[in-house]
Every structure is written in structure tokens, then in C-alpha cells.
Amino acid sequence: MNNMIYKLHVGPSGAQDSTLNDRQIRVVASDPTPDRVGDIMVPEGCVLDGYKANPIVLANHDADKPIGSGRVMIKSDRVEALITFAPPKISKIADEFCALTKAGILNAVSVGFEPIEAEPLQGGGVRYKVWELLELSVVSVPANPLAVVVERDFSRARRSATTRPTPARRAVSRPDDLEYLEEQLRERLRRDLGISENVKRLRAIAEKTKAQIQEQICAMNKEEKAAWPPPMPPQPIWHGSDAEYMADWREYQRMLENPYVRH
């Protein structure tokens, strides 16, 4: 377990299906899309032997917070999982995560896995060709923007069937994927526009700060020029001691040679 790696996947409220009960959701646990760090997980390389013996679902990868079990299915383009939360009132945190996920507040899952066979990718990142699934977690932070929650509950399915699908989408084999991709594109456009505005604002702040610093430097230079050169030191006066007079005279010569000493 020391070599366990976590990969996060997210999806907003996706398509709904009547086959789910009120304690179940269906998620995409992994797909071959490069994640935010550039890694790729090959679905066909997922090893499930250990997970089938202990199909645990955790809250935020915390081994002390089990919240349910998972039934994982490997497909050609993804690894899907049917998550069943613990029965009501057995675990408070399981009830919370179930409610948050059903309400669409939590939309992300994360796989904890151990690499078996991997290769580096050109330009950075790693392709995990063979990997063993150790645990599945419901989390709040996404990594793969193209992984989706494909089913939540039956009540929303009936609303979705009467309001959202169009004839063109009914002809598509997976309309939930198409809707999600469209939503992701819109979200990415909004995020890119927000980043652009933040960059403009930060540049304006930087230019203003630079101008203020230049004004302060100019003011300091003017003050230094106004106080330069410093006044001449007074000549030493003999007070009856040759030693004191010679010491004062050496200090006087030093101040004449180096104006910065008397500045």
C-alpha cells in the first residue's frame, strides 16, 4: 500500500437510470484521457483480482472512513463502477456522502492503485499500462475533466427525459456523454475568460507598483543630490596634547579623502 497512487475523476449530475436505488450511483472511475498531470491510465490494464475480494469505497482515501462498496466493470474506453453506500443510519459519514453525491454536490471519484507496468510519455507524464485497483474513493477535487457520473437516481431521470433530450440526442448511443462534454466546454470557456481577466488585473497592479517604486527611487535620488556634497569638517584645534591633535588631524584627513564618511 506504500506505492498507492490516487487519480481523481469528476462529473456533474449526469444521466439517470431507474436501475439504481436511493443508495447507489454509477461513476466512471478511470478513462484513457490524459489527466491534469499528463498521466494516462489504460482501462484494459486494470487488474481487479484484489479489489473484487475487498470492494471497498472510502471517503477521501481515508482508510478509517469506509462508506460503501463498489462493483467495477472494465470497458474498452473506461472503467466504470457501481457504488453502493452503506445502509442508512449505519455510518453517519456514509449517509453524508450519499446525500451530497445524490444532490450533485460531490461529483468526483478517485482510484487508489498500484502501478504494475508503466512507461514515460514524451513531453511528460506516465502511461500506466497495467495497474491494480486497490480502493475507490468519493472525493471533492477532480483531476480528469472528461470522466463523468453517469447515473444518480430515478426521479431525476423522469425529469430529464421530459425536458432535456432532443431528437438528435436520442439518436446518439450515450446522450449523457454528449451533454456532459458540452457542459465541460462551456465551463472551460468561462474559466479561460476568468483567467484572462485575472491576468489583465494582475498586470495592471504590477505596472502600478512598478511606477510607484520608480517614483520613490527618483525622490530618493533627488534627496541625495540635494544633500551632496556634505559640508567640510572643521580643522582640528590643538588643546595642549600632541597625541590628541595628531589623532584629530588623521580623522580630518580621512574625512577629506572620503566624503561618504562625513555624509
Domain boundaries of the chain, sorted by first residue: 5-153, 169-226, 229-263
* Cα(218)–Cα(207) distance, integer angstroms: 17
pLDDT in tens, 11-50: 444 444 457 899 999 999 888 888 888 889 999 999 999 9
- Asked whether the beta carbons of 113 and 131 are under 8 A apart, the reply is yes
Torsion, Cα 38 44 49 53, to 10 degrees, reads 70
Confidence at residue 4, expressed as pLDDT on a 0 to 100 scale: 67
Confidence at residue 140, expressed as pLDDT on a 0 to 100 scale: 82
SS3 content of the chain, % helix, strand, coil (to 5): 40, 25, 35
DSSP state of 87: P
* Cα(194)–Cα(189) distance, integer angstroms: 9
Nearest to 127, CA basis, from 222, 35, 235: 35
DSSP state of 86: P
DSSP state of 121: P
Q: Provide the sign of the torsion angle of the four alpha carbons 107, 173, 154, 71, taken in this order.
A: negative
- Asked whether the beta carbons of 187 and 142 are under 8 A apart, the reply is no
51 in helix, strand or coil?
helix
Instruction: Please name the residues in contact with 34: beta carbons below 8 A apart, sequence gap of 6 or more.
Output: 40, 125
Could you tell me where the beta strands, DSSP code E, fall in 86-125?
108-120
Cell 431507474: give the residue: 18
pLDDT in tens, 162-210: 444 443 333 334 445 566 677 777 777 766 666 777 777 888 888 888 8
pLDDT in tens, 46-65: 999 999 999 999 999 899 99
pTM of the model: 0.55
- Asked whether the beta carbons of 149 and 64 are under 8 A apart, the reply is no
- Asked whether the beta carbons of 143 and 10 are under 8 A apart, the reply is yes
